[in-house]
Structure 1
Amino acid sequence: MFTTYKEALEWIHARLRLGIKPGLKRMEWMMERLGNPEARIKAVHIGGTNGKGSTVTFLRSILQAGGYTVGTFTSPYIEQFNERISVNGKSISDEDLLKLANIIRPLADELEETELGGPTEFEVITAMSFYYFAEVNKVDIVLFEVGLGGRFDSTNIIQPIASIITNIGLDHTNILGNSYEEIAFEKAGIIKEKTPIFTAAKHPGARRVIEEQAEKRQAPLYRLNQEFSITAHRTLANGEMYTLTTEFQIMEQLEISMLGKHQTENAALAVVAAQYLTQNGSIVVTEQAIRSGLKHAYWPGRFEIVSENPLIIIDGAHNDEGITALVDELSTRYADRSLHIVFAALKDKKLDQMISKLDQIASQISFVSFDFPRAAEAKDLFMISTSQNKIAVEDNWGDYLDEVIKSIEPNSVLVITGSLYFISEVKPYLFKFSKNTIISL
């Protein structure tokens, strides 16, 4: 039995050694022992490659504005581990996390002795979230973000009232497949019988797979640029504005405070899902709640301006699609400024295209390593780059950032990007700077 939060967290993290073990049998085994708490939760399931966390945030904010108590299960975390299990944006307490760890630990030990083997870190956290929302802190609705893929993801034992699949990209190809179609098939595994599915998938092959799986399961399907569409997009100084047309309503001049045209698509998914669920009586949200929720939605580490003077942006662009969105946004907003990009990544990503796109816009690009089992070495990233102004930082990235921030020119932008695991280390580090300088922390 754990007696402290620190002990519980160390046990959870130690399970990373088990790696990724796709499949639902271990989750089903644990849930049966716990009396199937996942069956007592009203849930929305959110999968896809990019934009899952942002879509969760938009929908949570809309539902909160409508008066609901909303649980969320997300990954990875940016500032604190506890934020992975939250209620109305407030992270689970250390005390409750300790309680949950002591409930799940005996099951994990028992499971270890079976032919199924012990649960992974993600399976343990998922099991904790199910029990938490069903027994410890009951809420009106829970938004579950898929960890990896969908079909065999540990969250996929739920029976949601709606499922959402954001855009599909070539990520985790060593596990999910090498084509858009193969990856889409895994993502589409969250589609349930006669349960509505909302998607912003753009690749024709990926969309076709989702359409086929929705038809097979008789699931009502809502697709970006078909059943709902975005028009009249305008970039604002502190967000985006657009018109959303759905079969339920036309909403003009919707505003979001999260930056980037791609965020209008994530917001649109949240809105059309909320409209559908209101129509069928699962929830009730008004137009005012939708507008207010969108405007106040905030998700850390996604094109987030953490300092205005000097201008510092952090963005968890950890795959090709994410980098493309980042490059487009930087080119639109800061075409007249020099860009110093600091990049760190996981070594199992497709790095060549990501780095090539950053090379094209960076006045200077620096590659750093960080303390994570799958992190790429700075020198390896450096070798991929073709930039004439590249630097490999082999030692402490924190000391390097200190130097860079002190020397930023007035017309320059410092962009820190790459792995979300890296961003989760960088953002708290920036607390050391004056609060008069660093904002939005």
Structure 2
Amino acid sequence: MRYKEALKDLMSLTDFGIISNNNTAKKRRYDLNRIIKFSSLFGNPENSSPNVHIAGTKGKGSTAVFISSILETEGYKTGLFTSPHIHKLTERIQIGGKEISKTKFSKSFYEMWPDVQQYNEQNPNNRITLFEFLTILAFYIFDKENTDINVIEVGLGGKLDSTNILTPHISIITSISLDHTRILGNTLQEVALQKSGIIKPNKMTVIAPQKPEVLKIIKEVCEEKNNQYIAIQESCEITPIKKSKDFQTYILDSEFGKNSLTIPLLGDYQIENSATAFIAAKLLQKSNFPISDLSIENGFKETYWPCRLEKVSNEPLIILDGAHNPYSIEKMI
């Protein structure tokens, strides 16, 4: 196994997530041409299976895991790509609810690595970055594993994110607030336009609850691109029923009927995230992905997503959460 060696080689690539807050970021070329060209070396694996594509400021990962759990419960072989990781890099790439092994990661890594080196040697001023490589690596692995469907979380923004080379079956926009303003813009409207960049013509979009000015922009983009869309705050009614330290239950009243749903993730925002996932599952159901209500209910109950208002001790009560901007901290509290 060459996992440690693979990590060392991976870290030799530019990590845009680190440099994005300094002057080096201003010198980078912001477009998708580089990763489109790079992906073509591997046969464009990003479209080997249908994709659910998720952008937003908060709730992307939770929504992705809710959807992935539903699909897996129904029996679909599901690829899941999220970021960042908590303990191990392999957490970012999951199949069937389990992170890929270090052996599988290393094998695929070194099948691709010679092409990475050659590409960067030939393009010294426009090299493939760490996240770009990880994105194509995930698609490459999903392609090799013949996944039925993939759930893909945007890394940063949307319009120019590495994941945005895919063609989505469904796009999802989760809660939007100000974050990464040096890159995405200083206003909610600018950020909303960047996030809405994942919306593609003639597809379907689910919009999580948003501030009015944000919702207006997302809906305009959907209409411009002839998207069928469902905005949770306009089309659904959510009624909390029961909350405890271990789960919460609510009623979701939508065009698909009234459903009693129980989730193990805590916080009002997780109700919104799961409601968004529910609507996405229903749209999948209408488009050649049969999913039973029982699979949705059980998929929700089986969802696990660490460090999201996660209780790790009762005595004393200790809760872990990854809130990292003012809006998310306010929501958590």
TM-score range, shorter chain: over 0.9
Report how far residue 53 of structure 1 moved: 0.6
Select which of 54, 72, 90 maps to 1:64: 72
Alignment of 1:158-169 (within 5 A): 158-169=166-177
Query: Which residue does 1:279 correspond to in 2?
Result: 286
- Between structure 1 and structure 2, the one with the greater Rg is 1
**% identical aligned pairs:** 39
Instruction: In structure 2, give the amino acid aligned to 1:287.
Output: D
Match of 1:45 in 2: 53
Q: CA–CA distance in 1 between the matches of 2:222 and 2:193?
A: 11
Match of 1:155 among 150, 153, 163: 163
Task: Indicate the residue corresponding to 1:88 in structure 2.
Answer: 96
Q: Which residue of 2 aligns with 1:257?
A: 264
Name the structure, 1 or 2, with higher relative contact order (CA <8 Å, separation 6+). Answer: 2
Q: Deviations over 1:331-388 (max 9, x none)?
A: xxxxxxxxxxxxxxxxxxxxxxxxxxxxxxxxxxxxxxxxxxxxxxxxxxxxxxxxxx
Is the Cα–Cα contact under 8 Å of residues 132 and 162 in structure 2 kept in the other structure? yes
Distance 2:319 2:88 in 1: 20
* 2:244 equivalent to 1:245: no
Q: Which residue of 2 aligns with 1:14?
A: 12
Task: Give the 5 Å matches for 1:330-345.
Answer: none
Q: Which residue of 1 aligns with 2:118?
A: 110
Counterpart CA distance in 1 for 2:209 and 2:282 is 20
Gapped runs of 5+ residues in structure 1?
328-441
Q: 1:213 to 1:107 in 2, by over 3 A?
A: same
**Corresponding position of 1:299:** 305
Aligned AA for 1:150?
Answer: G
Residue 207 (structure 2) pairs with residue 208 (structure 1): no
TM-superposed deviation, 1:39:
2.1
Kindly provide the CA deviation profile for residues 1-34 of structure 1, in whole angstroms up to 9, marking residues without a partner as x: xx71101011212324554554211211111111
Cα distance in structure 2, aligned partners of 1:39 and 1:61: 21
Look up the equivalent residue of 1:254 and give its one-letter code. Answer: L
Q: Number of residue pairs matched?
A: 322
Contact 2:174 2:273 in 1 (8 A): yes
1:36-77 deviations in Å (ceiling 9; x for gaps): 111212110011000011001111111111111111000001
The reply on whether 1:5 has 2:3 as its aligned counterpart is: yes
| TM-score normalised to structure 2 length | 0.93
Point out 4+ residue stretches in structure 1 off by more than 3 angstroms. Answer: 16-22
Q: Secondary structure at the match of 2:275?
A: helix
What's 2:324 paired with? 318
Residues 201 and 173 of structure 1: is their aligned pair in 2 closer, same or farther, counting only changes over 3 Å? farther
Structure 2 residues without counterparts, runs of 5 or longer: 21-27
Tell me if structure 2 keeps the 8 A contact 1:111–1:117: no
Partners in 1 of 2:322 and 2:170 — Cα distance? 27
Q: Aligned partners of 2:285, 2:151: CA distance in 1, in Å?
A: 16
Of 272, 275, 287, which aligns to 1:268?
A: 275
- TM-score by structure 1 length? 0.71
